[in-house]
Amino acid sequence: MGHRASWAALLVLSSAWQLVLGGAAGGGRRSPHNIVLILTDDQDTEIGGMTPMKKTKVLIGQAGVSFPNAFTVTPLCCPSRSSLLSGRYPHNHLVRNNSLEGNCSSLAWQKSQEPLAFPSYLQRQGYQTFYAGKYLNQYGHPAAGGVQHVPLGWTYWNGLVGNSRYYNYTLSANGREEQHGQRYQNDYLTDLITNRSLEFLQKWSHPPFLMVLAPPAAHSPWTAAPGYATAYSTTKAPRNGSFNVHGKDKHWLVRQARSPMANTSIEFLDKAYRERWQTLLSVDDLVERVVGRLKALDLLASTYVFYTSDNGYHAGQFSLPIDKRQLYEFDIRVPLLVRGPGIKANQTRLVTPAQPSAWRADFLVQYTGEGLPTGDPACPALGPGVSQCFPDCVCEDAFNNTYACVRTLHPHSLQYCEFADRQAFVELYNLTADPHQLHNVARRVDPTLLEALNQRLIKLQACEGPSCRA
């Protein structure tokens, strides 16, 4: 894969990419611009995930451009982050899930993909590069180089070992193990990322620089900073759309969810929903402090600031309690806000039938399901092959929750998905008529449409090389 395609991974969408072509990737005579990428964890847009981000929406969104049609190509942390780093779809970077066996931060990944990731390219172009926070879920595993492994392309490295945590974690500080406990002032990870980014800007940043900040919010265990522990005390997950609705015409994994949900399940997901918002308030502070420091150092006018997430999330949609991993809009849509040189304020960029893009009309969504080889002892009726099960025996994943979708944006807003199961189950949604994906119309449309979408899906699944960009 060429460097331009890897570089496109940072910008997530083609429209954002077009905004910075005059910088480092565009060549020519212009001086390269600084880049700050803020990458959150499990932050949705469809069920209110951006509501706590009041300062972020003003400082980045209102000061630049918002992309309501931003998507992940896979609704799971490690494969999605691998796509962002490499610019490749999962079938090309081969990260299947969050496990080492699934190629997450494996030795094979380090050898084949890290040399082509966008930080390596920017570093070769003279950028100073700084990373702080969650990288890939298996980063730091002893079987994959441990904390001594600093991924290629990073000048200053503060990588979280393992998955998101707020306290009691280990960092790799430029390859040196650094243990953290549970004292707020020294250890709360979102604030530590903030403080180290400000230190980098103050002491070490000489343009051009790339700074990636990857806080744990809004991932579990949802530990709020002390000042925000009582925020949103009466907030509940939104009850509209597909909330507590049975997915009667969907894949069996969604159909097995119990509708209506038990009161205990609703109370649990409401509590998780509130706590997610509480953790995001510290990210909102991070944005304010980083943008403020850039301005104080006279760097803001020459810096692109991106805000996005690795995947979306659900809380009660189709009676699934809390998780991601599903093909629906709530799990694949992500926030994307950008400000920087040449970007006019208060813009919204859509890719719709009314506003088509010359870059792409559709894209691929892929997911490889995971299950346990033996059944859950608490839920013997489910048998083997499921995972992510809740106490009421509603499971969020399974081996055959493996699917590939083509999501079209124009001339029609459609989602067509095929499952790799014995049924070869198919789901099709008209997002214009049915934005909440309540009605699977796969059995009710003209078969020629299904055939056309099937052929497009086959082509996307086989794509490779510089023209196959995630």
Residues labelled catalytic:
77
Collapse the DSSP code of 375 into the 3-class scheme (helix H, G, I; strand E, B; otherwise coil) and give the result.
coil
Rounded distance, CA 392 to CA 9, Å? 39
Q: Which residues contact 209 (CB under 8 A, 6 or more apart)?
A: 34, 35, 127, 128, 129, 130
Collapse the DSSP code of 415 into the 3-class scheme (helix H, G, I; strand E, B; otherwise coil) and give the result.
strand
Structure tokens at 315: 């809380």
Contact 168, 133 (CB under 8 A): no
Rounded distance, CA 204 to CA 207, Å? 10
Residue among 240, 228, 322 at smallest CA distance from 275: 228
Q: Which residues contact 303 (CB under 8 A, 6 or more apart)?
A: 33, 34, 35, 36, 294, 340, 341
What φ, ψ does residue 187 adopt, rounded to 5°? -125, -20
**Sign, CA torsion 92/96/102/106:** positive
Rounded distance, CA 319 to CA 246, Å? 6
Structure tokens at 356: 């088509």
38-to-35, 131, 235, 354 alpha-carbon distances in Å: 10, 10, 26, 30
